Amino acid sequence: MIQDCTWAIGGEAGFGINSAGFMLAKACSRNGYGIVGSNEYPSLIRGGHNFVSLRISAADIFAPKATVDILVALNKETVALHTKQLASNALVLYDPNDYEWKKEDVAGDVTLVAIPFSELVKKLQGDAVMRNTIALGATMMFLGKELSFLTAVIKDIFMKKGEEVIQENIKIATEGYTYAKSNFASIISHILAPGEIKDPKLIMNVCEAVGLGAIAGGMKFAAIYPMTPINALIPFFTDNAKKFNIVYKQPEDEIAGINMAVGASLAGARSMVATSGGGFALMVEAVSMTGIMEVPLVINLGMRPGPATGMPTWSEQAELRMAIHAGHGEFPRIVLAPGDVEEGYTLTKKAFDLADEFQIPVLILTDKYLNETQWQMSATVVKDMTQVASTTTVNAADLKETPPFKRYSVNTQTGVSVRSLPGMKSGEYIANSYEHEEDGFTTEDAGVRVAQVDKRLKKAQAILQKAFKPIVSGEDVADITFVSFGSLKGVIREAVTTLTKSGKSVKHIHFAWVYPMPIDIGTMLAKEKHLVCIEQNATGQLASVIKEATGITIKDVWRKYDGRQWTVEEIVNKLTVNS
């Protein structure tokens, strides 16, 4: 029995590659297995080839694996393209009518499993696309699972399509299972140990987690111009617009998008935009406007390799500096970087409260890797839907004709002054992108200017009171301390586990609240013996932000900027080779 297995399926677009991966992921997750599903290979390969891999484990997992244990090839190309990824003793399920593979065609000690997918589907008068279901049925046999494991999911997924479709799919899955059992029952190398996870899990990517967090955080308006890798957020909002009480608007460009969101926020609707680096570059002038107008806004910046159009479907963490500095003039902001789906949900929900509390822009940094990988999250995380009541909007009954409402009153402890919403009688003011007096009137007076800048920047102190410290895991005192932010959380977490098992002394400090750097970070890092900052960029942006905040120079900065996420294996090997 094995604890961990990566299953993958490849074929042309339209072969049901994604839906097969989705069904298996759901089936495994419901039966107590950890899953991570990736599809990060398509743009590497010539047009139309789809490839999905699903890591399945008896326990919780936090990153994909580079190697494949069971490969389902719905065409010849799949085997040719992915043979190098095959683990030793991998199974390759292929249709002998596509191409008769020989042992020497594939690398390593691989078992070739010939299953006539097309013939079996034809025999049952099924559609050609249902070859994926034959493969799923057969997969159940090789994983040593009952077919019911899969059929329960088939029933749920096809419920809307009716009993006939359900039965047809079950019939075809059964055919695949039976064929495998009659011909390959002797293959027992990939039987999975029972799933150990007890609490119910949800399956989603970080885009969906951000979307869910936004709704739970009271978001009412989103303006998003499509851009990889935040596109999955759009159908999440549009499919549910009516029941979520929200408006999603597709603007003519990112500039319009952020200005619409600022307008909606001014009128009292919690608002957000989402984009990638190029789109964010267009938004920057309006980010600065939120600073002086003191308008709450949440910005999801999904990073991908730049500069300019760069490598649009790959991953990078090279926009931390941009997120911190974007916008002319000086004004406070918060930058958060979720490391997994749970943080995608909780930090986005929190971002809306923080934006409202401090009347500032809050940025949520995600990336292609997080946004387009399927992860698990405990269902209990979403149970907490408690809302923080806004204290920074004036009570309409408190507004009087005289004295006039001072929207930008400098008489505050935290720098935050209450705002009125258009429509409130006697609350009229000017939301002004020019420097302004306390009631919003334009000014160029030196004293007022200084007072207003000081008022806005005063928020930074109050913001730091809310900042949460990085998550520390691994040994208390370790020879090596990895430092990271955002999407490297899961990869390093697994690397730490592997290294600890092999006798290395390692720990991990992970930042989800990145900017402004929480107080006492310097003291915390100074205690560590040997810091190694791992980043998905070429210039070590996190290390430089840490140096700026603490004066501490992290000498070892491991950088990766080929568009491919750091893998657990790469980190383990690098440390092993270095020491």
Q: Which is nearer to another protein, 134 or 215 (CB)?
A: 215
Q: Closest distance between another protein and the C-beta of residue 102, in Å? A: 43
Q: Which is nearer to another protein, 51 or 429 (CB)?
A: 429
Residue type, 257: G
Q: Which is nearer to another protein, 201 or 459 (CB)?
A: 201
Q: Closest distance between another protein and the C-beta of residue 256, in Å? A: 4
- The CA-based diameter of the chain, rounded to the nearest angstrom, is 89
Q: Left, alpha or beta for 503 (phi > 0: left; psi -120 to 50: alpha)? A: left
Q: Closest distance between another protein and the C-beta of residue 257, in Å? A: 8
Q: Closest distance between another protein and the C-beta of residue 244, in Å? A: 5
* Distance (Å, whole) CA 576 – CA 114: 39
Q: Which is nearer to another protein, 220 or 510 (CB)?
A: 220
Which residues are paired to 510 by β-bridges? 471, 484
Q: Closest distance between another protein and the C-beta of residue 380, in Å? A: 10
Note whether 175 and 123 are within 8 A (CB).
yes
* Distance (Å, whole) CA 439 – CA 452: 11
Q: Which is nearer to another protein, 119 or 285 (CB)?
A: 285
DSSP per-residue letters across 301-366: EEE-S-STT--TTS-----HHHHHH-SSS----EEE---SHHHHHHHHHHHHHHHHHHTSEEEEEE
Single out the residue of 135, 116, 150 nearest to residue 24, CA to CA.
150
Q: Closest distance between another protein and the C-beta of residue 167, in Å? A: 22
Q: Which is nearer to another protein, 42 or 218 (CB)?
A: 218
What torsion do the CA atoms of 480, 563, 251, 514 make, to the nearest 10 degrees? 10
Q: Closest distance between another protein and the C-beta of residue 337, in Å? A: 23
Q: Closest distance between another protein and the C-beta of residue 235, in Å? A: 12
* Distance (Å, whole) CA 31 – CA 197: 8
Which residues are paired to 68 by β-bridges? 86
Note whether 19 and 132 are within 8 A (CB).
yes
Q: Which is nearer to another protein, 31 or 315 (CB)?
A: 31
Q: Which is nearer to another protein, 202 or 370 (CB)?
A: 202
Q: Closest distance between another protein and the C-beta of residue 426, in Å? A: 7
Q: Which is nearer to another protein, 436 or 564 (CB)?
A: 436
E-strand stretches of 29-149: 34-38, 49-57, 68-73, 86-94, 111-114
Q: Which is nearer to another protein, 244 or 561 (CB)?
A: 244
Q: Closest distance between another protein and the C-beta of residue 7, in Å? A: 20
Q: Is 183 helix (H, G, I), strand (E, B) or coil?
A: helix
Residues that bind another protein (CB under 8 A): 26, 29-30, 200-204, 208, 212, 215-216, 218, 220-221, 223, 240-247, 249, 251-253, 255-257, 259-269, 271, 285-286, 289, 379, 382, 385, 387, 421-434, 440-442
For the record, the structure tokens of 154 come out as 């088939």
Q: Closest distance between another protein and the C-beta of residue 258, in Å? A: 8
Q: Which is nearer to another protein, 96 or 218 (CB)?
A: 218
How do 334-336 and 49-57 pair as beta strands? Answer: unpaired
Q: Which is nearer to another protein, 253 or 454 (CB)?
A: 253
Q: Which is nearer to another protein, 138 or 262 (CB)?
A: 262
Q: Closest distance between another protein and the C-beta of residue 285, in Å? A: 6
* Distance (Å, whole) CA 418 – CA 428: 13
Q: Closest distance between another protein and the C-beta of residue 278, in Å? A: 16
Q: Closest distance between another protein and the C-beta of residue 164, in Å? A: 22
**51 CB-contact burial (10 Å; exposed 0-12 / middle 13-18 / buried 19+):** buried
How do 49-57 and 68-73 pair as beta strands? Answer: unpaired
* Distance (Å, whole) CA 166 – CA 405: 63
Alpha helices in 380-427 (DSSP H): none
List, in order, residues 6 or more apart from 157 with CB less than 8 Å away: 23, 26
List, in order, residues 6 or more apart from 516 with CB less than 8 Å away: 332, 334, 460, 463, 464, 467, 549
Which residues are paired to 272 by β-bridges? 222, 298
* Torsion angles phi and psi, residue 335, rounded to 5: -120, 120
* Distance (Å, whole) CA 64 – CA 37: 7
Q: Which is nearer to another protein, 109 or 239 (CB)?
A: 239
How do 513-515 and 334-336 pair as beta strands? Answer: antiparallel
* Distance (Å, whole) CA 342 – CA 510: 15
Half-sphere exposure of residue 72: CA atoms within 13 angstroms, side-chain side: 34
Q: Which is nearer to another protein, 100 or 196 (CB)?
A: 196
Q: Closest distance between another protein and the C-beta of residue 271, in Å? A: 7
